[in-house]
Structure 1
Amino acid sequence: MHTPLPLTRDLVLIGGGHAHALVLRAWGMAPLPGARLTLISPAPTAPYTGMLPGHIAGHYPRAALEIDLVRLARHAGARLILDRATGLDRAAGRVHLRDGAPVAYDVAALDIGITSDMPALPGFVDHAVAAKPLDAYASRWSAFLEALDAGRVPPQVAVIGGGVAGVELALAMAHRMARHDAARVTVLEAGAQALPGVSAQARSRLLAHMDRLGVALITGARAARIEAGAVVLQDARRVPSALTVGAAGARAQGWLADTGLHLTEGAITVDRHLRSVTDPAIFAAGDCAHLSHAPRPKAGVFAVRESPILAANLRAALSEGRGAGRMRAYRPQRDYLKLVSTGGKGAVADKWGRVW
């Protein structure tokens, strides 16, 4: 005897990242009959990461960064649960939450980002802040500026990591602190060269901007520990710092390791449909996903481009067995425009070997 599909199927979006924000927007314009949508997010807003350097540099207020998830959920007719996901019971189809009761799903998608904290580095938890997720960093920066203006701390900042993120934030902080005498921002790069992810010409321009703003660069610098007022390197050198920011790479959310999903460097391994290679009921997008068919660096542009594919494929997954359309494949671009802000209201652009 044929068992009819349930009249209502539950789609649960875990995390309010860029891809999910755009899925909510699309869903509100064309909801799927018979589907119940839930968004789980630890906060009612989500920051737009592309504006972070501008906020740090003083060009935008904190509120300007926020994506209003409450408004998007209302637009999509979605239930919004303000809580943090901590695990998946895939056998039962449940999302476990930090505070609330488990949430049932038929199909779930994750867009929970990454973190750049360094818990294994002694002193990091007590004396430093990770650049990602940006909420804690933006709050710590605001508190640092308040203390700096009151004369309670020296204008000394250290950034661990000399990639694009570290250099961009260093330039933004140096720009903001330029009015303070003896302001000093130091970028600590473990490798022999900073900015490995950009072209040689872009690197040259960014290093020139660092020089103009007085941002120091130390290569071959491996942090041994963080203290209240300094970063101590493995060669025993001490780099004075009243604020230490971690921007050396990133790692996935730790609880994903307990889901039983196939992971690649901690990120959920997905196929060309953004579907878990382990579980057809699970999708992932943004930095928490690893594209098995076309690996790419972590960049917000991919999350934005993934969103229409994710929206279409979630609809198809919910409608399987009901004559739904086929899944769409996500084919990421090979190169993408890298815009690295330089502290002021300017940036270095790098794409296809061209720099401007």
Structure 2
Amino acid sequence: MAHAPSAAADLVLIGGGHSHALLLRRWGQRPAPAARLTLVTPHTVAEYSGMLPGHVAGLYDRREIEIDLARLAHRAGARLILDRATGLDLRGRRVMLAGGAPLAFDLASVDIGVEAGAGDVPGLADHGLPVKPAARFLAGWQRFADTGGGALAIIGGGVAGIEIALAARRRLPNIAITVIEAAPAMLRELSPRARRLVLARARSGRIALVTGRAVARVGPEGLWLRDGGAIPARLVVAATGGQVGGWLGRSGLAMQGDRMRVDATLRSSHPAVFGVGDCAVLAGAPRPQAGVFAVRQAPVLDHNLRAALAGTGRMRAYRPQRDWLRLIAAGGDAVADKWGIALGGPWVWRWKDRIDRRFMAMLSDPPRRRKPGGISRAP
């Protein structure tokens, strides 16, 4: 039988992903009086992934794409601990922190996102710039753009890599841009028509597309391919998918690959730990890493955490969409893809912009609470 938290339960949110940001907003609207809420995250803000390509393109300033986690926590009455989780003690129900003492919990939820891994490519960790975590990527991109750019190489021909290439083309119209994909085709996650529309935009933007050729190593002057070719680059961006931090895999939770496995209620293999966002995978219904799922998970997570805190009540099941709207940014242009139907044009960008701005406005003006929590920083 699952452990029922005490009347003064501690609920700890580990990570500042989109699901947790939305949960904090909900907590500000309707707090649970019998719980103490804590958010553990190393940063006071989180970058909204949907608007990141627009920032790279110069269409949004940095503040427009930042979710203010400190403000959300304050208005939700949550304590904010600016530190990084490094482990879970499931038996003792403690979160291990990089800079502070372990933090006790009755219930915990993990939403730490992913980081782009260097994989087995020599030199990528030292000379490449991963697209995740976003804060590091944006700092590196800004330095590159501020100094006039130069040749840009992007490893990874999925949506993330192509969006960055198209955004970079708008921001820096005269630089050489190359996208390298080891598989025979790019944008395999899109429908055939959407793939054609996006790749046509890349070609018209003079973006070189290299497929079926794997990267052998990365150095300070560019990258070398396994077949012996070389691509000079002042900046090498890694957009090859994300990996979850190793501490989660060592926590004792059931994993699927490097992601924690959760059931339909978003509960992990331990009854006191839930998981959402890119770091979690739904058993029996895996989905790719995409913000749309994190947004849909938030109300289910909110309901189920309240039910677990109360020790009574029926939990809801999260049912991910079989298909979902993909809006691929193309540097002021965009392509929409769903149900095999794809449309593109500036009007799609305006549609995407309205959706993204509405989402950010909702998070930037949450309702107030009378008793805000405090902020603790790691020493």
Question: Per-residue displacement from partner, 1:242-295 (whole Å, max 9, x unpaired)?
Answer: 00010112211111111011111110100000000x201000000001010321
User: Which amino acid in 2 is paired with 1:206?
Assistant: V
Shift of 1:156: 0.4
Question: Per-residue displacement from partner, 1:202-252 (whole Å, max 9, x unpaired)?
Answer: 111111101111100000121111010111111111001100010112211
The two structures, once aligned, show a CA RMSD in angstroms of 1.2
Give the aligned partner of residue 366 of structure 2. none
Equivalent pair of 2:191/2:337 in contact (CA under 8 Å): yes
1:157 aligns with 2:152: yes
Give the aligned partner of residue 55 of structure 1. 55
User: Which amino acid in 2 is paired with 1:280?
Assistant: P
User: Which amino acid in 2 is paired with 1:29?
Assistant: Q
Shift of 1:196: 0.3
Q: Equivalent of 1:170, from 151, 158, 165?
A: 165
1:195 aligns with 2:187: yes
Equivalent pair of 1:225/1:232 in contact (CA under 8 Å): yes
Q: Equivalent of 1:351, from 328, 338, 349?
A: 338
SS in 1 for 2:303: helix
Closer, same or farther: CA 54–5 of 1 in aligned 2, 3 Å: closer
Q: Which structure carries more relative contact order (alpha carbon 8 Å, separation 6+)? A: 2
Closer, same or farther: CA 15–5 of 1 in aligned 2, 3 Å: closer
How many angstroms apart in 2 are the aligned matches of 1:170 and 1:119? 21
Question: Per-residue displacement from partner, 1:148-207 (whole Å, max 9, x unpaired)?
Answer: 2xxxxx6200000001111111111111110x3xx1110000000011000111111111
Equivalent pair of 1:121/1:224 in contact (CA under 8 Å): yes
Give the aligned partner of residue 17 of structure 1. 17
Shift of 1:37: 0.3
Q: Equivalent of 1:339, from 327, 333, 350?
A: 327
Equivalent pair of 2:93/2:106 in contact (CA under 8 Å): yes
How many angstroms apart in 2 are the aligned matches of 1:146 and 1:66? 20
Equivalent pair of 1:130/1:137 in contact (CA under 8 Å): yes
How many angstroms apart in 2 are the aligned matches of 1:166 and 1:6? 47
Give the aligned partner of residue 293 of structure 1. 284
Question: Per-residue displacement from partner, 1:26-49 (whole Å, max 9, x unpaired)?
Answer: 011111121000000100111111
How many angstroms apart in 1 are the aligned matches of 2:39 and 2:18? 13
1:271 aligns with 2:263: yes
Question: Per-residue displacement from partner, 1:72-105 (whole Å, max 9, x unpaired)?
Answer: 1111100000000010001111001111111100
How many angstroms apart in 1 are the aligned matches of 2:72 and 2:244? 26
How many angstroms apart in 2 are the aligned matches of 1:105 and 1:112? 17
- TM-score, length-scaled by structure 2: 0.88
SS in 2 for 1:198: coil
Give the aligned partner of residue 377 of structure 2. none
Give the aligned partner of residue 356 of structure 2. none
Give the aligned partner of residue 347 of structure 2. none
SS in 1 for 2:297: helix
User: Which amino acid in 2 is paired with 1:256?
Assistant: L
Equivalent pair of 2:249/2:260 in contact (CA under 8 Å): no
User: Which amino acid in 1 is paired with 2:333?
Assistant: G
Flag as ranges the 4+ runs of structure 1 deviating above 2 A: 4-7
How many angstroms apart in 2 are the aligned matches of 1:5 and 1:272? 21
Shift of 1:119: 5.0
SS in 1 for 2:147: helix
How many angstroms apart in 1 are the aligned matches of 2:127 and 2:62? 23
How many angstroms apart in 1 are the aligned matches of 2:5 and 2:201? 60
Structure 1: gaps (5+ residues) = 149-153
Give the aligned partner of residue 273 of structure 2. 282
Shift of 1:147: 2.0
What aligned pairs does 1:127-138 form with structure 2 within 5 A after superposition? 127-138=127-138
Equivalent pair of 1:117/1:131 in contact (CA under 8 Å): no
Equivalent pair of 2:89/2:251 in contact (CA under 8 Å): yes
SS in 2 for 1:43: coil
What aligned pairs does 1:235-274 form with structure 2 within 5 A after superposition? 235-274=227-266
Give the aligned partner of residue 82 of structure 1. 82
Give the aligned partner of residue 374 of structure 2. none
User: Which amino acid in 2 is paired with 1:158?
Assistant: A
User: Which amino acid in 1 is paired with 2:28?
Assistant: G
How many angstroms apart in 1 are the aligned matches of 2:6 and 2:187? 52
Give the aligned partner of residue 351 of structure 2. none
SS in 2 for 1:260: coil
Give the aligned partner of residue 151 of structure 1. none
Shift of 1:120: 3.0
What aligned pairs does 1:96-107 form with structure 2 within 5 A after superposition? 96-107=96-107
Structure 2: gaps (5+ residues) = 344-379
Equivalent pair of 2:5/2:309 in contact (CA under 8 Å): no
Q: Equivalent of 2:222, from 224, 230, 243?
A: 230
- TM-score, length-scaled by structure 1: 0.94
User: Which amino acid in 2 is paired with 1:24?
Assistant: L
Give the aligned partner of residue 317 of structure 1. 308
